[in-house]
């Protein structure tokens, strides 16, 4: 997956939120502060932050919650050490933040699939399907909070597998994730609430008594609920109230104009998110839902988390349909749900027992869906060396070619990464031929 994602890496900040996050990371590294006072235009930050004006009598402060910026600090420090920190794109290595957290997320998901008793072919399928889904590739290409959210969701599912197998550490990790989520993104409390609900729903899925087990379900979700309450309360008090001066809106409350978050027809939003997210993730969702139908709810690891997170975020964002300026919003907003859906696909694959070449054909279908989504949703005008302006995807290799970089900086990396991607896909295809779990173990 690394090679496939790096073939499409953007290598730059994409929207002003990304630029603001990277500037905050630079402020933390250079001055040990989140405040944005004394801005200068020497590194291209003024245009990034032209809208982040302080309220009267207050210092200029970032709207964004701190965890994503903190994750970028080590990469920015490496850029500074290598002399790349002053570049107009805020550096080079720092733009791998999304890829690093997506890879960690995929690794945790593969581990949880194997820990749940699935075969290596099932784990390979889960990683390949999730990694090739357009929403996953989208957040891997860019910096931002979404890769961190995906990592935390994947960690929650993996910790749940360990917890059910008697690991106390798994339970502690789940509680820690519930505390961290509200500090990661404005939707973090919603994701944390969804994970709390998933603990109770999972108890109902696995209990023969069904709805008669509501008391046991309530007892099982009490610790996660308490941890989420701690995370939300600390964020509202320390960040929103004390730091930003706005209990509910935080940094957004003093910047959003009146009516900017007015509700709209939810049917429009439901359709837009179902269409765009469903298309970009169609192959993964097909495998996951077919596996659930075959095995039942109790045998599908991560199903409760997938249903609750998708349902809550889908319903919430349906009230705020995506702007025409950001056509990728449905894929980006719901990308954090994919590690849970990948765990569902992986843990049900062995029972599904589809014979070759059907799984290989469906996996191959992920590639044209991915390429189409990239070309349809990301177009940037580049002035080519010939003087012709051409609309092309925002990819670092395309940009370097347009700027006239030598072939060893453009063609050579593309050929190497493409070869590595083909090799990995061929290995995954061979693993998918091992439909018998016993033979897969050998």
pLDDT tens, residue by residue, 265-313 = 788 888 888 888 999 999 999 999 999 999 988 888 899 999 999 999 9
Confidence grade of residue 442 (pLDDT, cut at 50, 70, 90): very low
359: which DSSP letter?
Answer: H
Looking at the domain assignment, is residue 214 inside a domain?
Answer: no
Contact between 59 and 130 (Cβ < 8 Å): no
Confidence grade of residue 212 (pLDDT, cut at 50, 70, 90): low
337: which DSSP letter?
Answer: G
* Out of 15-24, 42-51, 56-65, 223-232, least confident range: 42-51
Alpha-carbon gap, residue 73 to 362, rounded angstroms? 39
Last residue of a domain, one of 75, 95, 115: 95
Tell whether the model's pLDDT for residue 251 goes beyond 70: yes
> Residue 47 has what pLDDT?
47
> Residue 20 has what pLDDT?
83
Looking at the domain assignment, is residue 227 inside a domain?
Answer: no
Q: What is the pLDDT of residues 149-182, one digit of tens each?
A: 999 999 999 999 998 888 889 999 999 999 999 9
Q: What is the pLDDT of residues 362-417, one digit of tens each?
A: 999 999 999 999 888 877 666 555 555 566 778 888 888 877 788 888 889 999 99
The answer for 118, left when phi > 0, alpha when psi is -120 to 50, beta otherwise, is: beta
Beta pairing partners, 137: none
Looking at the domain assignment, is residue 47 inside a domain?
Answer: yes
Looking at the domain assignment, is residue 283 inside a domain?
Answer: no
Looking at the domain assignment, is residue 119 inside a domain?
Answer: no
Looking at the domain assignment, is residue 238 inside a domain?
Answer: no
Last residue of a domain, one of 95, 115, 132: 95
Tell whether the model's pLDDT for residue 41 goes beyond 60: no
> Residue 440 has what pLDDT?
41
* Out of 15-24, 105-114, 203-212, 281-290, least confident range: 203-212
> Residue 106 has what pLDDT?
97
Tell whether the model's pLDDT for residue 211 goes beyond 60: no
Confidence grade of residue 325 (pLDDT, cut at 50, 70, 90): very low
HEC letters along 41-102: CCCCCCCCCCCCCCCCCCCCECCCCHHHHHHHHHHHHHHHHCCCCCCCCCCCHHHHHHHHHH
> Residue 238 has what pLDDT?
93
Last residue of a domain, one of 52, 78, 95: 95
Contact between 391 and 380 (Cβ < 8 Å): yes
CA-to-CA dists, residue 167 to 27, 134, 156, 159, angstroms: 40, 34, 13, 9
Residue 327's H or E segment, with its range, is none
More confident residue, 220 or 133: 133
Contact between 218 and 341 (Cβ < 8 Å): no
Give me the chain's average pLDDT, please. Answer: 83
Confidence grade of residue 85 (pLDDT, cut at 50, 70, 90): confident
Place of tokens 């395309």: 398
Domain count of the fold of the chain: 2
> Residue 360 has what pLDDT?
92
* Out of 65-74, 318-327, 407-416, least confident range: 318-327
User: Mean pLDDT: which of 76-85, 86-95, 107-116 is highest?
Assistant: 107-116
Residue ranges making up the domain that contains 388: 376-433
> Residue 378 has what pLDDT?
77
User: How much of the chain, in percent, has pLDDT values that exceed 90?
Assistant: 44
> What residues have CB less than 8 Å from 56, skipping those under 6 apart?
none
- Tokens representing 304? 């409760």
* Out of 26-40, 133-147, 277-291, least confident range: 26-40
Tell whether the model's pLDDT for residue 439 goes beyond 50: no
Looking at the domain assignment, is residue 440 inside a domain?
Answer: no
Looking at the domain assignment, is residue 245 inside a domain?
Answer: no
CA-to-CA dists, residue 313 to 135, 192, 369, angstroms: 14, 11, 23
> What residues have CB less than 8 Å from 303, skipping those under 6 apart?
202, 205, 292, 297, 340, 344
């Amino acid at each position: 997956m690394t090679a496939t994602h790096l073939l499409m890496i953007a290598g730059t900040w994409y929207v002003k939120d990304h630029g603001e996050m990277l500037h905050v990371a630079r402020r933390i590294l250079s001055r040990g502060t989140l405040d944005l006072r004394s801005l200068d235009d020497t590194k291209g930050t003024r245009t990034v932050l032209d809208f982040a004006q302080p309220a009267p009598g207050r210092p200029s402060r970032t709207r964004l919650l701190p965890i994503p910026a903190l994750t970028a600090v080590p990469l920015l420090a490496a850029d500074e050490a290598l002399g790349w920190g002053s570049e107009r794109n805020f550096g080079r290595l720092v733009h791998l933040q999304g890829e690093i957290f997506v890879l960690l997320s995929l690794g945790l998901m593969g581990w949880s699939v194997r820990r749940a008793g699935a075969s290596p072919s099932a784990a390979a399928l889960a990683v390949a399907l999730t990694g090739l889904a357009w929403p996953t590739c989208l957040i891997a290409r860019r910096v931002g909070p979404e890769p961190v959210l995906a990592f935390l969701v994947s960690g929650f599912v993996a910790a749940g597998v360990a917890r059910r197998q008697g690991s106390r550490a798994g339970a502690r990790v789940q509680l820690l994730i519930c505390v961290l989520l509200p500090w990661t993104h404005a939707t973090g409390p919603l994701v944390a609430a969804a994970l709390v609900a998933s603990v109770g729903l999972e108890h109902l899925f696995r209990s023969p008594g069904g709805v008669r087990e509501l008391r046991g379900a309530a007892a099982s979700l009490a610790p996660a609920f308490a941890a989420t309450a701690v995370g939300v309360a600390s964020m509202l008090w320390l960040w929103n109230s004390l730091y930003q001066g706005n209990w509910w809106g935080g940094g957004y409350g003093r910047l959003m104009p009146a009516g900017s978050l007015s509700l709209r027809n939810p049917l429009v939003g439901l359709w837009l998110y179902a269409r765009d997210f469903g298309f970009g993730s169609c192959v993964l969702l097909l495998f996951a839902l077919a596996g659930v139908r075959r095995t039942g709810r109790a045998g599908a690891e991560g199903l409760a988390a997938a249903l609750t997170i998708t349902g809550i975020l889908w319903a919430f964002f349906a009230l705020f349909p995506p702007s025409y300026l950001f056509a990728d919003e449905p894929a980006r907003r719901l990308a954090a749900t994919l590690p849970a859906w990948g765990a569902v696909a992986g843990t049900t694959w062995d029972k599904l027992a589809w014979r070759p070449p059907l799984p290989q054909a469906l996996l191959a279908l992920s590639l044209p869906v991915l390429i189409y989504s990239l070309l349809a949703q990301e177009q940037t005008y580049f002035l080519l060396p010939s003087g012709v302006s051409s609309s092309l995807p925002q990819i670092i290799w395309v940009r370097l070619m347009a700027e006239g970089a030598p072939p060893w900086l453009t063609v050579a990396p593309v050929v190497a990464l493409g070869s590595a991607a083909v090799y990995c896909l061929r290995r995954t295809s061979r693993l998918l031929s091992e439909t018998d779990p016993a033979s897969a173990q050998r």
